[in-house]
Structure formats: C-alpha cells, structure tokens
C-alpha cells in the first residue's frame, strides 16, 4: 500500500479517473478517491481491533487489492508484532493524506475528516458483522484520541434503534455527473437527513 503515499502515482490515478467520472475538478476527484481508498485501507486493522487480532497499520505491512483502473476493493495486513496501533495509524493516514492533498490540490484537514468517517464507518460495519455494534463503535473515540489532532472525534447517531455514523466530512460525490448527496451527508438539511435515516433504519 506504499503507493498510496506517492503523490505522483496518485496524480496519475486521478487523471485516469477524470475520464471515467467525467470531471476535471481535481479537488472532487481527490476527495472521492480518498473517501473510497481510506475505507478500504483502514478495514483490516479495525477488523483486527474488534476481533482481538492485532494487525499492522503501517503502509509497508498492508497490501491493497485493486480492480482495473486502480480502484481499491480490499486490503490485507500483516500481524502487528507488538507495534503501537495509534502511532502507526497516524503515520499512515498522514502520509496518504499528504499525497492526496498534493495530487488533488486540496487542503489536508478535510481529508482527515474523511479519515475519521471511514474509521467510524468501518468499526460500525465490523460491529454489525460480529453482532456487537455497541462494543465495536465504542472503540472509535479512544482510538481517534490516541491518534490525535487533526483527526476529529468520530461520532454516531442512533435512529429508530439503528446506529449510523454522524458524518464529519463531505465526500463530494454529489459533484460528479448524475450523483446526489449521500443520505448522511452533513450538507443536507438536518430534518431531511433525519427523515432519510429513519427510512433507511426501517429497511435494515
């Protein structure tokens, strides 16, 4: 996964995605790319944290699996070998955020907000998979605090008995042709977002 920290490689990925996604807005391309890549990148170490299997958060210990077009779909990680998770996670996020920011011409802070949403989302997903959402999501706050600023604190909201991530970021997906705001997007009117989440909750 070390390629993720290479701004040159990232710039080439964004240029290729510009054709498929029909936009030349580098800020949008970079933000959407990081939204998907961060989710994949963080999954192994967070799944390991929930299940008690210590996996490394270092880029050099993580293998990213890509579809055609360099679209990340899965990641695997080596055992942590006694390393500090928060320290390694901070270094990994910082390295990739710096590369994405340079390649996309965007500020780093919004990319850190996306990282915290990915962290929250992945813990929520793993919690649902193992049948203990409360325990899995309870790990998010202490982990983010250990990673430290500028990673925001992850947040959740319970709607009709179903837990959702309370987003700190906007992935800018709606800026692509024929896309719309995500259900939980912070840009939505709060009342509209609540109604949409209630509808989603009834179908889960």
**Domain locations along the chain:** 2-202
- CA 24 to CA 18: how far, in whole Å? 6
For the segment 26-31, the average pLDDT, to the nearest whole number, is 96
User: In sequence order, what are the residues at sequence separation of 6 or more whose Cβ sits closer than 8 angstroms to the Cβ of residue 88?
Assistant: 56, 57, 58, 80
What is the arithmetic mean of pLDDT over 8-32?
Answer: 94
Determine how many CB atoms are found less than 10 A away from the CB of residue 176: 17
pLDDT band at residue 11 using 50, 70 and 90 as cut-offs:
very high
Q: Determine the Cα–Cα distance for residues 196 and 114; give it in Å rounded to an integer.
A: 21
**pLDDT over 70 for what percent of the chain?**
100
The stretch 15-37 carries a mean pLDDT of 94
Whole-number average pLDDT of the chain? 95
Say how many C-beta atoms besides its own lie within 10 A of residue 20's C-beta.
Answer: 10
Q: Coil, strand, or helix at residue 15?
A: helix
**Tens digits of residue pLDDT in 97-112:** 999 999 999 999 999 9
> At residue 178, does pLDDT exceed 90?
no
Query: In this model, does residue 95 exceed pLDDT 80?
Result: yes
CB 103, CB 116: distance < 8 Å: no
Q: Which residue has the higher pLDDT, 163 or 83?
A: 163
pLDDT reported for residue 20: 87
pLDDT in tens, 35-82: 999 999 999 999 999 999 999 999 999 999 998 778 899 999 999 988
Q: What is the pTM of this model?
A: 0.94
Which pLDDT band holds residue 183 (cuts at 50, 70, 90)?
Answer: very high
Q: Is 55 helix (H, G, I), strand (E, B) or coil?
A: strand
Segment 156-167 mean pLDDT: 97
CB 72 within 8 A of CB 40: yes
């Amino acid at each position: 996964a070390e390629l993720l920290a290479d701004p040159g490689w990232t710039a080439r990925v964004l240029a290729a995605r510009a054709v498929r996604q029909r936009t030349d807005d580098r800020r949008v391309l970079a933000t959407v790319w990081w939204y998907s890549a961060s989710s994949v990148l963080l999954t192994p170490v967070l799944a390991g944290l929930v299940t008690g299997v210590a996996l490394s958060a270092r880029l050099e210990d993580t293998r990213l699996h890509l579809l055609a077009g360099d679209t990340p779909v899965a990641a695997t990680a080596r055992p942590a070998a006694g390393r500090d998770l928060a320290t390694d996670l901070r270094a990994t996020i910082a390295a990739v955020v710096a590369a994405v920011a340079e390649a996309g011409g965007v500020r780093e802070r919004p990319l850190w907000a996306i990282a915290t949403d990915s962290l929250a989302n992945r813990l929520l997903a793993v919690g649902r998979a193992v049948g203990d959402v409360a325990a899995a999501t309870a790990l998010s706050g202490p982990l983010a605090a250990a990673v430290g600023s500028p990673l925001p604190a992850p947040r959740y909201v319970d709607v009709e008995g179903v837990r959702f991530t309370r987003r700190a970021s906007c992935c800018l997906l709606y800026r692509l042709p024929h896309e719309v705001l995500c259900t939980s997007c912070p840009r939505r009117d709060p009342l509209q977002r609540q109604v949409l989440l209630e509808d989603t909750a009834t179908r889960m």
